């Protein structure tokens, strides 16, 4: 088997990952509904999903949700209709594990191997090649893909069979949503209390309240940099809903889901749905009376 690479879905994450693959010297045949994105990522543009499938041995997917993945796989011009024995599909999307397992079974009947490969690390990690992959599927196939994962990841964990990668991704993303929403709320409270936010973050990050958001997001946000280009509030809300569906299926109580559901629901209803999820702090700030963490006027008036 050769290693011709195709890529479907070249948005914030897919475009950056494809760009790293191309930069490493591997041509990519790319398709996105926005026909400008393939060239922007350095890929050779394809006119359809079917063209990517016909011209690739490994097809990577980076799509917004399970319905989008299902349309690409099961549609009349999709992977199931045009796939062939020996092909590998690597799904980098955040999807419902139950859907992933169904697609795995359907593609297996055509001899196509489907690997669910949830990714974590955001747009910055994609650009730097430091993503973490949580992979589900045949371990031997995941191992054979190591050379490809090495182009955009720092860690690959084989989680188990089909659906295990996307299950791990939902668990991870839920914790991400909790920490982002909770830290945003705390930072708005700190601003209203008149605390110096840099000092507050320093205390949190050296104490028991430290989170990924407090370490990696809010030092930038308090300076007015929202780290644009990452996961939107709408997609974060989608991930939390998928998590709730998953743990309901598992028989686990969703005792801590109300916070991020409320926070990202608020963001979605107040104009921030398509903004980066870090803007949840502005949605909370709006409800708190128009609070913003960054005040350029205060910076200008500092002695």
Is residue 2 scored above 80 in pLDDT?
no
71 shares its domain with 156: yes
Tokens of 71: 């349309």
- Measured CA to CA, the distance from residue 292 to residue 302 in angstroms comes to 17
153 shares its domain with 179: no
| Percent over 70 (pLDDT), the chain | 97
Mean pLDDT of 127-133: 96
DSSP assignment of the chain: ----EEEE--SHHHHHHHHHHHHTT--EEEE-SSTTHHHHTTPEE-SSHHHHHHT-SEEEE--SSHHHHHHHHHSTTSHHHH--TT-EEEE-S---HHHHHHHHHHHHTTT-EEEEEEEESHHHHHHHT-EEEEEES-HHHHHHTHHHHTTTEEEEEEEESTTHHHHHHHHHHHHHHHHHHHHHHHHHHHHHTT--HHHHHHHHHTSTT--HIIIIIHHHHTTT---TTS-BHHHHHHHHHHHHHHHHHHT---TT-HHHHHHHHHHHHTT-TTSBGGGHHHHHHHHTTS--S--HHHHHH--
Domain boundary among 112, 137, 160: 160
- Active-site option among 169, 192, 238, 299: 169
Mean pLDDT of 131-138: 98
Domain boundary among 140, 160, 180: 160
80 shares its domain with 190: no
| Percent over 90 (pLDDT), the chain | 95
144 shares its domain with 12: yes
Mean pLDDT estimate for the chain: 95
246 shares its domain with 126: no
| Residues whose CB is less than 8 angstroms from the CB of residue 279 and which lie 6 or more positions away in sequence, other chains included | 226, 233, 267, 272
Residue 169 annotated to the active site = yes
pLDDT in tens, 184-232: 999 999 999 999 999 999 999 999 999 999 999 999 999 999 999 889 9
142 shares its domain with 40: yes
Is residue 300 scored above 90 in pLDDT?
no
Domain boundary among 115, 133, 160: 160
75 shares its domain with 151: yes
Mean pLDDT of 66-85: 96
Confidence of residue 108 (pLDDT cuts 50, 70, 90): very high
Mean pLDDT of 54-75: 96
141 shares its domain with 20: yes
255 shares its domain with 204: yes
Domain count, the chain: 2
Report the CATH number that the domain containing residue 193 is assigned in CATH: 1.10.1040.10
135 shares its domain with 173: no
154 shares its domain with 185: no
- Measured CA to CA, the distance from residue 70 to residue 68 in angstroms comes to 5
Confidence of residue 299 (pLDDT cuts 50, 70, 90): low
- Measured CA to CA, the distance from residue 2 to residue 49 in angstroms comes to 20
Calculated CA dihedral for residues 267, 273, 277, 280, nearest 10 degrees: -20
Question: 239: domain range?
Answer: 168-301
pTM, two decimal places: 0.93
- Measured CA to CA, the distance from residue 188 to residue 173 in angstroms comes to 22
State the pLDDT at residue 297: 72
Strand 113-120 relative to strand 88-91: parallel, antiparallel, unpaired?
A: parallel
pLDDT in tens, 255-296: 999 999 999 999 999 999 999 999 999 999 999 999 999 988
């Amino acid at each position: 088997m050769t290693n011709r690479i195709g890529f479907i879905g070249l948005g914030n994450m897919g475009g950056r990952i494809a760009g790293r693959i191309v930069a490493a010297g591997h041509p990519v045949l790319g398709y996105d509904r926005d026909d400008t994105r393939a060239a922007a990522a350095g890929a050779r543009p394809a006119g359809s999903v079917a063209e990517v499938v016909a011209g690739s041995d490994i097809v990577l997917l980076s799509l917004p949700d399970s319905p989008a993945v299902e349309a690409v796989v099961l549609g009349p011009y999709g992977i199931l209709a045009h796939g062939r024995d020996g092909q590998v599909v690597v799904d980098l999307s955040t999807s419902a594990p139950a859907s992933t397992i169904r697609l795995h079974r359907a593609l297996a009947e055509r001899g196509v191997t489907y690997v669910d490969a949830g990714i974590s690390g955001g747009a910055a990690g994609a650009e730097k090649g430091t993503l973490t992959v949580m992979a589900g599927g045949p371990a031997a196939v995941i191992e054979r893909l190591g050379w490809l994962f090495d182009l955009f990841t720092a860690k690959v964990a084989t989680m188990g069979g089909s659906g295990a990668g996307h299950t791990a991704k939902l668990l991870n993303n839920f914790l991400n949503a909790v920490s982002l929403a909770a830290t945003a709320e705390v930072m708005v409270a700190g601003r209203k209390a008149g605390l110096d936010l840099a000092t507050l973050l320093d205390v949190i990050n050296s104490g028991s309240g430290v989170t990924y958001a407090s370490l990696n997001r809010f030092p930038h946000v308090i300076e007015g940099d929202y780290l644009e280009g990452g996961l939107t509030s709408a997609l974060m809300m989608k991930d939390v809903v998928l998590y709730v569906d998953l743990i309901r299926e598992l028989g686990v109580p969703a005792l801590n889901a109300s916070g991020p559901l409320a926070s990202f629901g608020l963001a979605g209803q107040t104009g921030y749905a398509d903004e980066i999820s870090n803007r949840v702090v502005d949605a909370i700030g709006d409800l708190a009376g128009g609070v913003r963490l960054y005040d350029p006027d205060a910076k200008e008036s500092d002695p």
